[in-house]
Amino acid sequence: MAEEVLQDVFLKIWDKFDHYDASKGKLFTWLLNVARNQAIDKTRSREISKDRKTDDIQNVVSKIDNEEYIEQRVDSIGVKDILKDLPREQHFIVEHLYLKGYTQSELADEFDIPLGTVKTRLRLAMQQLRITLGVTTT
């Protein structure tokens, strides 16, 4: 399914590229938003249509593969090192928002955290990561 989404994302970027406005933000951010929204839409639509229950074995296998893949990546040394300095609750937020594909409101609902708290925790985590990743304050 991840590969299917990837294809959708590429096509979407291709089609909507003239909507990108360099004055509003970095290209990477725009690409991220397109990709993330596409991925979220895809998983939601599958959940709503109960597609997962009728998935053939191939898709189930690949879904499991991909989930394991993401787990591996989160546990891989690079990201682990970056996130290790964060307090547990911030680590949790970053991991779920950026690596597990949750939206802020999903995260709030599912784990019973107020949306405002999700936002401020992310804010704090991002500030910490500036130091870890060496993004300089100008």
Partner 1 sequence: MNKHEYISSGILEAYALGELSEPERREVEHHLAGHPELRTELDQIEAVQEKLLQRTAITPRNAVKAALFARIDGQPPAAKGVSMPSSEARMWKFAAAASVTVALVSSYLAYNYYDKWKRTQGELTERIAQSQRVASDYNQVNQRLDKIERDIHIIQNPAFKRVALKGTSHAPASLAYVYWNEDTREVYLSVHELQHLTRENQYQLWAIIDGKPVDAGVFDGGDAGELLKMKEIGRGATLFAVTVEPRGGKPAPTLETMQVAGPVEKG
Binding site for partner 1 (CB under 8 A): 2-3, 6-7, 10-11, 14-15, 17-18, 24-26, 28-29, 32-34, 36-37, 69, 73-74, 76, 78-79, 82, 94, 97-99, 103-105, 116, 118-123, 126, 129-130, 133, 135, 137-138
Beta carbon nearer to partner 1, 59 or 104: 104
d(CA 8, CA 10): 5
Number of continuous H segments (helices) and E segments (strands) in the chain? 8, 0
Residue 68 Cβ, how far from partner 1 at the closest point, in Å? 12
Question: What single string gives the DSSP state of each residue in 82-113?
Answer: HHTTS-HHHHHHHIIIIIS---HHHHHHHHT-
Q: Which is nearer to partner 1, 53 or 58 (CB)?
A: 58
**44 vs 123, which CB is nearer to partner 1?**
123
10/111 with CB nearer partner 1: 10
Least Å from the CB of residue 69 to partner 1:
7
Task: Map residue 137 onto helix, strand or coil.
Answer: coil
CB of 48 to partner 1, least distance (A): 20
Nearer to partner 1 by C-beta: 23 or 50?
Answer: 23
At 97 the three-state DSSP class reads: helix
The C-alpha atoms of residue 68 and residue 61 are separated, in whole angstroms, by: 11
Query: Residue 89: what residue type?
Result: E
- Choose among 74, 76, 52: nearest CA to 64: 52
Please say whether the beta carbons of 121 and 131 come within 8 A: no
Q: How far is the CB of 110 from partner 1 (least distance, A)?
A: 15
